[in-house]
Amino acid sequence: MNITQWLTRFRSDPTTAQNITYWNTIPAREAVYAPFPDWLDGRIAAALQKRGVTQLYSHQAEALTAVRAQHDVCVVTPTASGKTLCYNLPVMNAILEDDSARALYLFPTKALAADQVSELYELIREAGVEIKTYTYDGDTPPAARQAVRQAGHIVVTNPDMLHSGILPHHTKWVKLFENLKFIVIDEVHTYRGVFGSHMANVMRRLLRLCEFYGSHPRIICCSATIANPKELAESVCGREMELVDRNGAPSGEKHFIFYNPPVVNEMLGIRKSAVLEARKITTDLIVNRISTIVFARSRVMVEVLLSYLKELVKTRLGDSDMVRGYRGGYLPTQRRAIEKGLRDGSVVGVVSTNALELGIDIGTLEVCVLCGYPGSIASTWQQSGRSGRRQGISATILVANSSPLNQFMVQHPTYFFHQPPEYGVINPDNLYILLSHIKCAAYELPFVDGETYGGKPVTEILSFLEESGMLRHVGNTWHWSTEEFPASEVSLRAAGEENFIIIDTTTPDHQVIGEMDRFTAPMLLHDDAIYLHEGKQFQVQKLDFENHRAYVKSVEVNYYTDANLAVSLRVIDTFKTKGEQLQTSLGEVVVTAMTTIFKKMRFDTHENIGFGKVKLPHLEMHTSACWLAMGDEIWQGMQPSEIEGALVGIGNLIANLAPMYVMCDVKDISVYPQVKAPFTQQPTLFIYDTIPAGMGLSDRLYEMQEQLLKGALDMVNECPCPAGCPSCVGTDGADKHMVRKVLERLCALEG
Amino acid sequence: MSSLEEKLRHLSGTLRAAQPATAPPSRAAGGRCVERRSRVDADTLCGGMAAYASAETLEMVGRVPLADFSLEKTVFLDTETTGLSGGVGTVAFLIGIGFLQEDSFVVEQYFMEDYDAETDMLHRLCRRLANFDTLVSYNGKGFDVPIVNSRSIVNRIRQPIASMRHIDLLYAARRLWKARLGSCGLQNVEREILGFAREDDIPGSMVPMIFFDFLKDGDMTRMEGVLEHNRMDIQSLYTVLCRLCRDVALPLEQPEPADRYSAGRILEAAGRSADALRCYEAAGEPYGPALRARALLLRRSGRADEAAYCWKRLLEQGMFGAEPYEELAKYYEHTRRDDALALKTVEECLLKLRLLGLEPLDSLVKRRVRLTQRMKQGRTM
């Protein structure tokens, strides 16, 4: 059965048809072309022609013109629109004009870098020109590094390597820094939240060094579709950008299908599990040899799906390796083997977290199954773009789960197709992050009195560092004055410190099988937790919290574990406040979080079959928060227990809606309801950034509070459940009618 | 919690910053570059071995081409630094150089009293280095030179150091003494080869701390120890250089078989096969590595019978696993044209591997197949 036949059956078969809430066919799109610019080197043009490229798409030509005019450019490119030419052509052309010219390419992951480099090699080879392109990352052999530093025209690396392997050793890269003409930042939309804030600081350090060496590189950014690509690129680079966003590339016909699993318990609003439905759909696709990628929301879900699918494929197709997992926690060698399998076709199905959301070219996948809404419109389009990169029919099937956000999306498909995608938010001046990078910058080049960093004076921070014994202020200069190597203490991928390493002790030769950031580790790697890796179960024997190590042993059990996080919160400072009966404030809070117990959940039915205790130190975090204090008028005629229920219910709605507005992961924001908050003396809902010192998410929510409450009210009104379910107000005692009443009052206030 | 300073303090707790010290008084200007100069009788350092430090010998020892070499134009260099991380932020606060002047070995040290004296210090070094064309260091290629070079770039000084002809004695010492000593750290070489131990020497790991303390209190007492440590290092460079040359020039006078063997390796690498062979022979047959090196050299020189003798001896000693068997099998097959003996040797080796529980080597298995087939068919030529 081919994909067209499969889709026809999927649409007509009553067992599936009844669950389809929306079927959107996006017609194929014609290309808009423009000729090669006349300044393009003949050898490059000839190489392109050899590949059948006789003209450019309009957006490529536009980007080339802007770069040629010495602008910094941000190109917004849907998947498969030929974005790499937007930077490869200007860079190659510049090197052919001036052999001493250098370019630095930054990709968010090594895998993506490897993929793009092989494409660039091909073009260089076809052009028959001498442009030396090297990858410089953790895998580059020491013997080859010297050549990369001296002779590489184009150096391809990732932000982490730039941060800890290049910038602190800039004197070995004099040729590169003195002659740097271009910095290319691909997938700039991935640099949001903590990672983006780090990246912005790495860019500040990079440009600071360029200034020292007297070079003024142009910057070319590429971004997927988000609401504010120009703004995000500008904050990441600290420069004004010219936006190129009129896409001229063609696309094949695409079917976008929203699938809502049937309700199995109307009272509780419980639908059939999205995982089970996604598994069923995927199995059917794979059995028909239609190449499929499944995106799950978490590592745990990936592993759960993977073990199901592997088992099924083994019995039906005889080779469990035709389905593979792909996620961030895998080691590089494992990841590359999977990518290769995808390209050569020995793998038909892939289960992935959003590691593959990035533009890794894995060939022709025909169908993309999203097991749960990916959390943002932008991510959904990115993941959906994994299928049907080339011409021809492709499909994306969004299988909703019971969460409020999922139910909102699947029942409001027009919202999805008409709402502008989300904002990418970063906060390069997050104090925690800023301080780390100022240390690195001071190590790289002493600060001089009056020097600014990120456009702001930094004397106060430098003085603090001197007091802490790291800098020494002599004359007008701040010198690095310790034995430390500051870059090694900063990981760009999380605000916290180094990751936890997961060690398999099943066999005597203990092996590292993965790693996890320190905020997630207490939840997933506590003693006795079941950790899933490549579909195998491991039980955590011991979590060595101090040394960031988890020792695990292979086991076979019929349950997984789910830890509870106990949280308390207090207000430290208020920055601003608005409103009266509904008083919205923005400020700083201290959140204390502790993992205390965990539940054991049966695999197949997800029912709770036991508890265990967790003994771990608590994590304390200063962060920014937005809180809604609700006055007496709003609660008129309500009992205290009803107030509590309503507050919890609103909290549940907002926790699920807020990430949609600010384009963050659900776990980047937390909601904490307090019936009588000590600080406000009123029923109060706190929404806080779960990243130390805050990422600016609360700030944006403070501004969007009105939309947020209206969205919550819509969600309650449109949920079909009679009295409240996990898809709307949650199951922690919230009464749906009370929640609706309170939200109506709140929205009326706003009126 | 609203002031930036308080926030920084709180964050520093989570960042595990160094403990806050009391704020030091502000420094309008810090220090100067202090120069120290000392001289000792060159002969006491090298004990009459200087004569062996000819360009020819040094080329072999240092594996660097040395056209127009003279000891007078050679500078010995060692630095003390604020750390070992090797990035741009590591500062060499003390740079010591040594050179020969008439009958003396002179050590000149440039010490920056504070960071603002770094530029001056590097400038002085730069001017001084102009008098020399060859640099001698101990691990300078990997450490001292990159740091001095790096700091010069940061201070915008064109430093000749990175492009100077450079003999790194650490690599030379490893070539000659690693077989016997294992670790070839300078102090270990002093103790084991030169036979002297330093008294009251400062451990290298303490050096950064002493400098940071000095910056705080300006007390030179412990810093003097660092200057002395550096001076000793530089003098040792000269001694080690002479000693290396002498040992390579007079390899047969070395009492240790391992040293004779190592000298042989150096000579062989320099193309002096006859001398190398004499060293291997002098190392004695019980010293396996020399016997093996001898076998390989003899075979390459077309002296197959003598090489075979060595392999047989090695085989009797049970050393180097399958290699002697394979080499002998090749010898029997190709030189002696005795397939039966070659096959017997291969079989013996395979048996031995099996007894040891090891995998049979592919090359042996292939050889056995070929020999067996040919013995059935008879040699065609």
Per-residue pLDDT reduced to its tens digit, A667-695: 678 899 998 888 899 999 999 988 777 77
Phi/psi of residue B101, nearest 5 degrees: -140, 115
Res A381 pLDDT > 90:
no
**Mean pLDDT throughout A213-238?**
93
Structural domain total, chain B: 3
Whether B11 and A431 lie within 8 Å, measured CB to CB: yes
Query: What distance in Å separates residue A487's CA from the closest CA in chain B?
Result: 10
Phi/psi of residue A387, nearest 5 degrees: -100, 145
Residue B278 neighbours by CB under 8 Å, 6+ apart: B251, B252, B264
Res A662 pLDDT > 50:
yes
Whether B4 is in a domain gets the answer: no
Query: Do residues B76 and B133 share a domain?
Result: yes
The predicted structure's pLDDT at residue B24: 47
The predicted structure's pLDDT at residue B22: 44
Query: Do residues B66 and B166 share a domain?
Result: yes
Q: Of all residues in chain B, what percent carry a pLDDT higher than 90?
A: 59
Q: Which of A244, A276, A306 marks a domain boundary?
A: A244
The predicted structure's pLDDT at residue A313: 83
Per-residue pLDDT reduced to its tens digit, B18-49: 344 444 445 666 789 999 999 999 998 988 88
Position with higher pLDDT, A47 vs A536: A47
**Mean pLDDT throughout A288-317?**
82
The predicted structure's pLDDT at residue A495: 44
Whether B15 and A483 lie within 8 Å, measured CB to CB: no
Query: Do residues A48 and A186 share a domain?
Result: yes
Whether B1 and A588 lie within 8 Å, measured CB to CB: yes
- Secondary structure (3-state) at A689: strand
Per-residue pLDDT reduced to its tens digit, A502-519: 888 888 878 777 777 666
B8 reaches A (C-beta below 8 A)? yes
B195 Rama class: left (phi>0) / alpha (psi -120 to 50) / beta: left
Query: Do residues A233 and A255 share a domain?
Result: no
Whether A464 and B5 lie within 8 Å, measured CB to CB: yes
The predicted structure's pLDDT at residue B344: 92
The predicted structure's pLDDT at residue A152: 92
Residue among B8, B14, B84 whose CB faces A464 most closely: B8
Checking DSSP bridges between strand A73-76 and strand A242-244, what pairing results, if any? parallel
The predicted structure's pLDDT at residue B16: 38
Res A356 pLDDT > 60:
no
The predicted structure's pLDDT at residue A249: 85
Res A185 pLDDT > 90:
yes
Residue among A443, A479, A692 whose CB faces B87 most closely: A443
Q: Which of A244, A259, A279 marks a domain boundary?
A: A244
A354: CATH: 3.40.50.300
Mean per-residue pLDDT over chain A, rounded? 85
CA dist A488 → A160, A164, A168, A498 (Å)? 10, 6, 10, 9
B120 reaches A (C-beta below 8 A)? no
Res A498 pLDDT > 60:
no
Query: Do residues A378 and A463 share a domain?
Result: no
Whether A609 is in a domain gets the answer: no
Which of the residue ranges A134-148, A658-672, B168-182 has the most confident prediction, judged by mean pLDDT?
A: B168-182
- Secondary structure (3-state) at A399: strand
Q: Write the single-letter amino acid at B54.
A: S
**Mean pLDDT throughout B187-202?**
88
Q: How far apart are CA A13 and CA A4, in angstroms?
A: 14
Whether B16 is in a domain gets the answer: no
Cα-Cα-Cα-Cα torsion B285, B287, B290, B291, nearest 10 degrees, comes to 40
B211: CATH: 3.30.420.10
Query: Do residues B133 and B274 share a domain?
Result: no
Res B12 pLDDT > 90:
no
Which of the residue ranges A375-389, A495-509, B193-207 has the most confident prediction, judged by mean pLDDT?
A: B193-207
Whether B85 and A572 lie within 8 Å, measured CB to CB: no
Tell me the residue range of the domain where B326 lies: 321-381
**Mean pLDDT throughout B106-111?**
97
Whether A485 and B83 lie within 8 Å, measured CB to CB: yes
Whether A474 is in a domain gets the answer: yes
Structural domain total, chain A: 4
Q: How far apart are CA A366 and CA B350, in angstroms?
A: 55
Residue among A168, A435, A472 whose CB faces B88 most closely: A168
The predicted structure's pLDDT at residue A63: 96
Whether A606 is in a domain gets the answer: no
Whether B2 and A573 lie within 8 Å, measured CB to CB: yes
Q: Which of A362, A387, A418 marks a domain boundary?
A: A418
Reported confidence tier of residue A433, pLDDT bands at 50, 70, 90: confident
Tell me the residue range of the domain where A190 lies: 33-244
Res A355 pLDDT > 90:
no
Partners of residue A692 in chain B, C-beta under 8 Å: 14
The predicted structure's pLDDT at residue A445: 97
Q: Which of B5, B10, B88 to mutate to test the interface with A (most CBs of A within 10 A)?
A: B88
Q: Is B24 exposed, middle or buried (0-12, 13-18, 19+ CB in 10 A)?
A: middle
Query: What distance in Å separates residue B357's CA from the closest CA in chain A?
Result: 21
The predicted structure's pLDDT at residue A720: 72
Query: Do residues B142 and B77 share a domain?
Result: yes
Q: Write the single-letter amino acid at A735.
A: D
Reported confidence tier of residue A270, pLDDT bands at 50, 70, 90: low
Position with higher pLDDT, A613 vs B239: B239
Query: Do residues B150 and B262 share a domain?
Result: no
Reported confidence tier of residue A494, pLDDT bands at 50, 70, 90: low
Q: How far apart are CA B150 and CA B139, in angstroms?
A: 16
**Mean pLDDT throughout B99-109?**
95
Which value does ipTM take for this structure?
0.86
Whether A470 and B114 lie within 8 Å, measured CB to CB: no
Query: Do residues B287 and B330 share a domain?
Result: no
Structural contact between residues B291 and B285, judged by C-beta atoms closer than 8 angstroms: yes
Residue among B18, B30, B150 whose CB faces A469 most closely: B18
The predicted structure's pLDDT at residue B14: 43
Whether B291 is in a domain gets the answer: yes
Position with higher pLDDT, B40 vs A697: B40
Reported confidence tier of residue A332, pLDDT bands at 50, 70, 90: low
Which of the residue ranges A307-321, A374-388, B117-131, B194-208 has the most confident prediction, judged by mean pLDDT?
A: B117-131
Q: Of all residues in chain A, what percent carry a pLDDT higher than 70?
A: 90
The predicted structure's pLDDT at residue A311: 84
Query: Do residues B136 and B46 share a domain?
Result: yes
Q: How far apart are CA A137 and CA A140, in angstroms?
A: 5
Whether A555 is in a domain gets the answer: no
